[in-house]
Amino acid sequence: MIPILNFGRTGHESTRIIFGAAALGYMADAAEAAPVLDMLLDAGINHIDVAASYGRAERRVGEWMPEHRENFFLATKTDARDGAGARKQLAKSLERLQTDHVDLIQLHNLVKEDDWQTAFAEDGAVAALIEARNEGLVRQIGVTGHGTRVAAMHLRSLAEFDFASVLLPYNFTMMAQPEYADDFENLLEACEEREVAVQTIKSVARRRWEDGTKPFTTTWYEPLTDDAEIQRAVHWALARPGVFVNSASDAGLLPKIIDAAQTFASSMPPADHEMDAAIKELAVAPLFVRGDDDVRLPQ
């Protein structure tokens, strides 16, 4: 059974594995996506995380959602920074998701300074989403991000507005970077004090695709693929009390992540020396390194 945890102060008890619906972004039709979404029902996963920018993902979720809406905490994201753009994107998301509200709307990858300034301006996305919340179109507002500076930026965002959730990378190699680890710990402490939900991503990341390598998954990075490797990585992440683990953006990895989560309660989390050995054996590397363009993603 997948463990369940209060999703911050939202009042919802979410499974600690959250379905990362970017895995549906490349799927051409509802028939292709339905077996993946049905897997959530079988596993008991009750929280879906999608975004306006995830290709066809909102449409694929929306085609399936009307029959199952009451069973899921439904979250999406907007990458618009201005208020008008955020409202327009939210309206399109609600249309694609075939729902009259989402449980959580998140400012997507809010890390860069100019984006932050625009989002928090008087006519920015934050004010517009508060308005949407007051209208009942969204229930909670969160913030997400990539890079090595994201934890510090999330702390800054929390000082400006009382977000219900944050989302950021968390895996062994990212936490092996002292500056990132310090920022993460400071953020986690603040979130615990304020009952802010902490979602983590990239738990099964191996490294960026090496030059000349043809990607064999729909993740923008090379993931771990072996069952035992995924179990070790997922167990390590779940061993951190209070955090949620979002599944990877490749549908083929979802059954392995689910299996890992279902065995977590009956297993001992891997020790640091085991993780160190695995990192060396598999040539695992952090996706983000400070000084190497902290939010650099593939184009």
- Can you name the residues that pair with 82 across neighbouring β-strands? 124
End-to-end CA distance of the chain: give it in Å, rounded: 38
pLDDT in the model for residue 298: 52
State the pTM of this model.
0.96
CA 79 vs CA 45, 110, 177, 185, 287: distances in Å: 26, 8, 28, 26, 21
Residue type, 30: A
Contact 2, 26 (CB under 8 A): no
3-state secondary structure of 221: strand
4-282 adopts what CATH topology?
TIM Barrel (3.20.20)
Q: What's the longest Cα–Cα distance across the chain?
A: 53
Per-residue pLDDT of the chain (299 residues; tens, 9 = 90+): 899 999 999 999 999 999 999 999 999 999 999 999 999 999 999 999 999 999 999 999 999 999 999 999 999 999 999 999 999 999 999 999 999 999 999 999 999 999 999 999 999 999 999 999 999 999 999 999 999 999 999 999 999 999 999 999 999 999 999 999 999 999 999 999 999 999 999 999 999 999 999 999 999 999 999 999 999 999 999 999 999 999 999 999 999 999 999 999 888 989 999 999 999 999 999 999 987 556 555 54
pLDDT of residue 30: 95
CA distance 208 to 213: 10
Domain boundaries, the chain: 4-282
Report whether 278 contacts 284 (CB < 8 A). Answer: yes
Distance, CA of 283 to CA of 207 (rounded, Å): 8
Give the C-alpha separation, 74 to 62, whole Å: 11
Cα distances from 219 to residues 19, 21, 187, 207, 257, in angstroms, run 14, 12, 26, 11, 14
Structure token pair of residue 74: 């439904």
Among the listed residues 206, 175, 226, the one whose alpha carbon sits nearest the alpha carbon of residue 284: 206
The confidence score (pLDDT) of residue 299 equals: 41
